Amino acid sequence: GYRRTVPRGTLRKIIKKHKPHLRLAANTDLLVHLSFLLFLHRLAEEARTNAFENKSKIIKPEHTIAAAKVILKKSRG
Amino acid sequence: MDGRVGLRASRRAAPTPRVAVRSSPRQRARVREQEPVVSAMSGSGLGKENKAGSSTPLRHRPNAFSELDNATPRVMLRKIIQNQPQVSPLALQTVQLEETEDARPEPPSQRTSSTVELQLPDLVPEDASVTTFRMTRKRKKLSISEFERAADKRLPQNQAHSTLDSTLVRSLRMSVGSVMAPDTVEKRGLLRRPQNHKAIDIAAFEGGVEQNMLQIKAQDYLVDLQTSSMTGTTTIRTDAEVVLNNTELFVEPQLGEQNLLAVEPQLSDSKTSAQRSNTSYPAHEKARLEGLVSRVSTDERRTLRFSEKDLITDHEHVDGITQKTPAKEGEDEQDHSQQNDPMEQFSESEEMAGTTEHHADAEYSEHSEKKLSRKAVSQLTAAQDAGVEMEMTPSEGGVAEGTEHQDSPKAELQMAGSPGGHSPASYSLKKSGAKPLKEAVEQTGEIERGTITGVLDAAEEEATDDESDIEDHESEEISMKTPMFVHAAAYRPHPVLSPPHPVKSASPELPPQPVRAKPVPKSSGAAQRKTREPEIASSLIKQIFSHYVKTPVTRDAYKIVEKCSERYFKQISSDLEAYSQHAGRKTVEMADVELLMRRQGLVTDKMPLHVLVERHLPLEYRKLLIPIAVSGNKVIPCK
């Protein structure tokens, strides 16, 4: 088990920073964190695939960048 | 029953009495006879056969039974290998649905001349037999003898019809091929999934990766050290390196990028300036190189400073530093005549815009080191001294230029070039060896001390240094730009430089420190907290990402992930705002976030939200999100 506490306060602050007028209901920040986890999950898979395709055993920045482009686009609402 | 027998027969490699029985009208009788016995026999026979380890056809038939009886992986595996088509699992299922007793009488009644029909009921009776067998395990042991007798009986009978049976078996197999296939799959699933070579590759790959992880980490670490300590010009080329070198706790990557941009031109400039200085001071080549190295470190520090937004802190320091800066600059120039060359050049490039900042820069450089921890405080102070607000990036550049300007007027005063060179050399060496932050702290400490009490000392040093540095005028002018920290470091490690002020290194440390320490930390701390933007902790991101990716990741890649996270939060915050506005609300509700995840493709008809919650969130949060019904007509969390 890795870190078990969700940074709820930080999440709220971040969203507040981007959209100050927006409010968050009770446990919505947990769902936001869940979506963030899944985003990282997708990003990790994509980057891993890129690295694997390059026959590299390490995730390099270029792999991550290429993955980010795809996944950020996918994660748009 | 017939089917059962037939199936069993078909399974057997060699024609068996049972197979023959099927085709003959005698089958019925035989089957009937066999039925009660078969179940027991099958189990017992299987057990017997299995134990014997023989791959006789008999075993095929009682596969289901044997599985039941000897459900050890070994036995099952053996059976699977030997008996490719496995009807038993399927048969079992059908049997389970039916009553065992019912199944048994059924097949006999359903017996037909067609083998196919027999085959189907065979499944049923087999299942029945299987179930019955299950229910009556004891029978297995009891009926072994019966089974054997029946088998012996049937063998001669079936042998005659072996050929016919084989065809029947084949047809049976074909007809029940579909049935068998799932069984096979099921059975395989129970025991072992088909080898996924890709998985193996990945597994081996990852295993090797893990083995290399340490090596890679060590290499990376070494590389990082090398890059930081090496001829700095090339070390801080990349964002990553710059950021890597930045030992500050909170470094904004954006700033890092800026720094990188600033650094690169600086480096190029420094090189040119270094060349200039070189020509004039061949003796200082070494110092120059060292200066480069120190410059690199200063660059690193600068990046650190960049990341910090300590304008406020700078203000405080500016006042205290103003006095010192002029003296300091002189000192710095002297001390870092050689180092300054590259540094100045470097800083020059940085500071295209802020002329006024130059002075500030000089101060800043002095303080920057001190303030590595404070981050950019010195920059600010330096800027303030100059009377111009310093931006993070320009401040550093300005510092270099500021020193330059200051140096020029003080060129005459040139500090001891040689001692300065030595100090920078030692300093640079020291810097390369030590962590930039640590050094910067030391330097800043030095500078601080120097600022208050060092004004005089600096002047004195300058005087002494001037003589030696006369040669270094030119270089000094350039080197003036070198960060103050270099100067500070210069005198600190070399008390010899200021023999008239041996106490300087010692005493100044204490008195000025408390005086300076107080205001500096306060402002920096408060300022940092205020100016710090909320970000997800990079350690958490690293943890999560590495957990998901399961392979080693370079540090630069982590930076990119952090940037992506920021952009992601920006995206979703606007998305959520749009959704809630569309619903006529000002608050984001759970439905909005769920809609977001649905549109992202995370929540689908096949993948409900609760499943994702269960999978990815820690337990305590699952309870909050997923309503659980408990007794007493209660639902937690209450709705």
Nearest to B448 by CA among B500, B515, B534: B515
Q: Which residues of A touch B560 (CB under 8 A)?
A: 61, 64-65, 68
Q: Which residue of B has its CA nearest to A23?
A: B587
Cβ–Cβ < 8 Å for B414, B482: no
Q: Does B529 touch chain A (CB under 8 A)?
A: no
Which residue bears the tokens 């977001």? B596
Cβ–Cβ < 8 Å for B190, B68: no
Interface test with B, best of A4, A17, A54, A59 (most B CBs within 10 A): A59
Count Cα atoms within 13 angstroms, Cβ side, for B250.
Answer: 17
Q: Which residues pair with B184 in a beta bridge?
A: none
Cβ–Cβ < 8 Å for B326, B383: no
Q: Does B521 touch chain A (CB under 8 A)?
A: no
CA distance A26 to chain B (A): 8
Distance, CA of B233 to CA of B454 (rounded, Å): 31
Q: Which two tokens stand for residue B394?
A: 């320009």
Q: What is the pLDDT of residue B447?
A: 44
B119-143 as b/e, with b when 16 or more CB fall inside 10 Å? bbbbbbbbbbbbbbbbeeeebbeeb
Question: Whole-prediction pTM value?
Answer: 0.33
Distance, CA of B76 to CA of B72 (rounded, Å): 6
Q: What is the mean pLDDT of residues A46-68?
A: 89
Q: Which two tokens stand for residue B64?
A: 């289901």
Nearest to B370 by CA among B513, B235, B265: B513
Q: Residue B451 has what DSSP assignment?
A: I
Distance, CA of A2 to CA of B23 (rounded, Å): 66
**Nearest by CB: B600 against A15, A60, A75:** A75
CA distance B618 to chain A (A): 6
**Nearest by CB: B205 against A13, A31, A57:** A57
Count Cα atoms within 13 angstroms, Cβ side, for B573.
Answer: 20
Q: Which residues pair with B587 in a beta bridge?
A: A23
Please report, for residues B6, B43, B66, B185, the alpha-carbon distance to residue B54 in angstroms, rounded to integers and kept in the order given. 20, 15, 13, 24
Residues A46, A47, A53, A58: is their CA dihedral positive or negative?
Answer: negative
Inter-chain contact B560–A28, Cβ cutoff 8 Å? Answer: no
Output the CA torsion B378→B380→B382→B384 (10° steps).
Answer: -150
The one-letter amino acid at B195? Q
Comparing B41 with A70, which gets the higher pLDDT?
A70
Distance, CA of B471 to CA of B546 (rounded, Å): 55
Taking the alpha carbons at both ends of chain B, their separation in whole angstroms is 58
Q: Which residue of B has its CA nearest to A14?
A: B534
Residues of chain B with confidence (pLDDT) below 70: 1-70, 85-144, 155-202, 218-532, 637-639
Please report, for residues B125, B202, B258, B290, the alpha-carbon distance to residue B393 in angstroms, rounded to integers and kept in the order given. 85, 45, 7, 23
Cβ–Cβ < 8 Å for B208, A57: yes
Inter-chain contact A57–B209, Cβ cutoff 8 Å? Answer: yes
Inter-chain contact B575–A76, Cβ cutoff 8 Å? Answer: yes
Distance, CA of B624 to CA of B639 (rounded, Å): 11
Interface test with B, best of A31, A43, A46 (most B CBs within 10 A): A31
Q: Which residue of A has its CA nearest to B214?
A: A58
**Nearest by CB: B551 against A14, A43, A58:** A58
Q: What is the pLDDT of residue B228?
A: 53
Region for residue B12 given its phi and psi (left: phi exceeds 0; alpha: psi -120 to 50; beta: otherwise): beta
**B27 contacts: CB under 8 Å, gap ≥ 6:** B2, B5, B21, B111, B118
Comparing A71 with B314, which gets the higher pLDDT?
A71
Inter-chain contact B554–A58, Cβ cutoff 8 Å? Answer: yes
Distance, CA of B217 to CA of B235 (rounded, Å): 18
What ipTM was estimated for this complex?
0.96
Cβ–Cβ < 8 Å for B129, B34: no
- Phi (first) and psi of residue B200, to 5 degrees: -60, -45
Helix (H) / strand (E) element for B629: namely strand B628-630
Q: Which two tokens stand for residue B69?
A: 């009886």
Distance, CA of B432 to CA of B19 (rounded, Å): 87
Cβ–Cβ < 8 Å for B304, B235: no
- What residues 600-619 of chain B have any CB closer than 8 A to a CB of chain A? 600-602, 609, 612-613, 616-618
Q: How far is C-alpha A55 from the chain's CA centre?
A: 25
Q: Which two tokens stand for residue B240?
A: 């990553």
Q: Which residues pair with B634 in a beta bridge?
A: B630
Distance, CA of B503 to CA of B486 (rounded, Å): 20
Q: What angle do CA B478, B480, B481 make, to 5 degrees?
A: 80
**Residues belonging to chain B:** 639
Distance, CA of B331 to CA of B424 (rounded, Å): 12
The one-letter amino acid at B625? L
3-state helix, strand, coil in chain B (%, to 5): 80, 0, 20
Residues B296, B414, B352, B396: is their CA dihedral positive or negative?
Answer: positive
Q: Which residues pair with B635 in a beta bridge?
A: B629
**Nearest by CB: A76 against B571, B612, B620:** B571
Q: Does a cis peptide bond (omega within 30 degrees of 0) precede residue B534?
A: no
Nearest to B5 by CA among B28, B14, B577, B331: B28
CA distance A43 to chain B (A): 8
Q: Does B550 touch chain A (CB under 8 A)?
A: yes
Q: Which residue of B has its CA nearest to A17?
A: B534
Q: Which two tokens stand for residue B130?
A: 């299987």
Q: What is the pLDDT of residue B28?
A: 53
Q: What is the pLDDT of residue A7?
A: 86
Q: Which residue of B has its CA nearest to A1?
A: B618
What is the topology classification, in CATH, of domain A8-74? Histone, subunit A (1.10.20)
The CB density around residue B331, as the number of other CB atoms within 10 Å, is: 36
The residues spanned by each domain of chain A are: 8-74
Exposed / middle / buried, residue B155 (Cβ in 10 Å: 0-12, 13-18, 19+): middle
Q: Which residues of B touch A47 (CB under 8 A)?
A: 549, 557
Q: Which residues pair with B553 in a beta bridge?
A: A59
Helix (H) / strand (E) element for B542: namely helix B538-549
User: What is the three-class DSSP state of A25?
Assistant: coil
Q: What is the pLDDT of residue B247?
A: 60
Interface test with A, best of B209, B541, B573, B613 (most A CBs within 10 A): B573
Interface test with B, best of A22, A23, A46, A50 (most B CBs within 10 A): A22
Output the CA torsion A41→A42→A43→A47 (10° steps).
Answer: 100
- What residues 569-598 of chain B have any CB closer than 8 A to a CB of chain A? 569-580, 586-590, 592-597
Q: What is the pLDDT of residue B273?
A: 47
Interface test with A, best of B200, B536, B549 (most A CBs within 10 A): B549
CA distance A1 to chain B (A): 9
**B463 contacts: CB under 8 Å, gap ≥ 6:** B413
Region for residue B594 given its phi and psi (left: phi exceeds 0; alpha: psi -120 to 50; beta: otherwise): alpha
CA distance B204 to chain A (A): 11
**Nearest by CB: B557 against A15, A61, A71:** A61
